[in-house]
Structures are given as structure tokens and as C-alpha cells.
Amino acid sequence: MGPHLAGALVLDVGSVKVKPARLMDDRLAPGVRVVGTHPLFGPQSGKAGIAGLRIAVCAVRGDRDARRVAAFCRKALKLRVFLVTPEDHDREAAVVQGLTHLIARALLAMEPLPTRMTTASFDRLMEAVDMVRHDSPAVFRAIERDNPFAAEVRERFFALADEARGKAGEG
């Protein structure tokens, strides 16, 4: 497709930004305009409409196109827009998405879970699990493997979980 994209605006909509931004910048011809985007919602959270939901917009080849995409998202789609670098996006997404998907995977593996005598906080955890329950394994892999900051976040989480486990066992 590359030779047919001269002057075109190419957007990605993936959960990870550093790697795709680098690939698009390296492999697409200089005349191709490139902006990275990440709608911070999926089919479950956007099923009642997307107005007010969030989207990250990352300049890859200059700020002008990214600002124009951000303005469109803000005005036409009524989204809350965050203009960020691919690195800043992935650093935050490693925590926000990485932990959500990791914890959801663990809770899904523990099913069946109680549904009768639950607390409000447990119900909210299960809402989070349900929002990612049907995501493909490829989404989980991208979030956990392709994000350059995810491994560090996972290691910190597991270290703190081990610390909490030790305190839970203290008498």
C-alpha cells in the first residue's frame, strides 16, 4: 500500500503507540502524514455512545495533523482528547490497561466467582472484568508484550502483591 499513500493521512487505533509509531515513521514514505490514536474505550464501554469518552492522539510526523485529528475528535465525536507523545501514552497505558487486563485475566481464571453476597467494590471489579472479558488474546498480548513499559509495571505489581501476601499471613 505504501506507494499509494502519497499525501494521505494514516491513523492507527491500537492500544500501544511507541512501536506502531516507529514502524509507520520508518516504513511509510516521507509524504505520508501519520498520527497515532488510541480510543480509550472498546465496544463494551462505548455501546451506549462514545460522547464524553477519551481518546489519546499522538503526533508522529509533526504536530499539525495531530492537532487537526484532535479537533475533529473533540468537535465531531465529542470525545475527551489527550494530546500525548507515544512514550507518555505507553507509560500510562502500561498501568491503566496493563493492570486492568492482567487482573481481569486472573479473576476470569478463578470463575465461577460469587454473585450472591457481593460488595459494591467487588461488583465494580467484576464490571471491569466484564469490560475486557471478550477481548481477543491478541489485544492482551499487545498490551502486555508490545508496550515497552508493561513488564516494569507487572514486576512492580507482583512485588507489591507478594508484600501484601506476606502481611496477610502475619499473625
User: Which pLDDT tens digit goes with each residue over 88-100?
Assistant: 999 999 999 999 9
- Are the CB atoms for 71 and 37 separated by under 8 Å? no
DSSP state of 56: E
Q: What is the mean pLDDT of residues 24-29?
A: 95
Residue 2 predicted with pLDDT over 90: no
Q: Return the half-sphere exposure (C-beta side, CA atoms, 13 A cut-off) of residue 132.
A: 24
Closest Cα partner for 135 from 56, 51, 45, 48? 45
Instruction: Tell how strand 54-59 and strand 33-39 pair up.
Output: antiparallel
What residues contact residue 74 under an 8 Å CB cut-off, 6+ apart? 80, 81
Instruction: Report the C-alpha gap between 126 and 124 in whole angstroms.
Output: 5
pLDDT confidence bin for 43, thresholds 50/70/90: confident
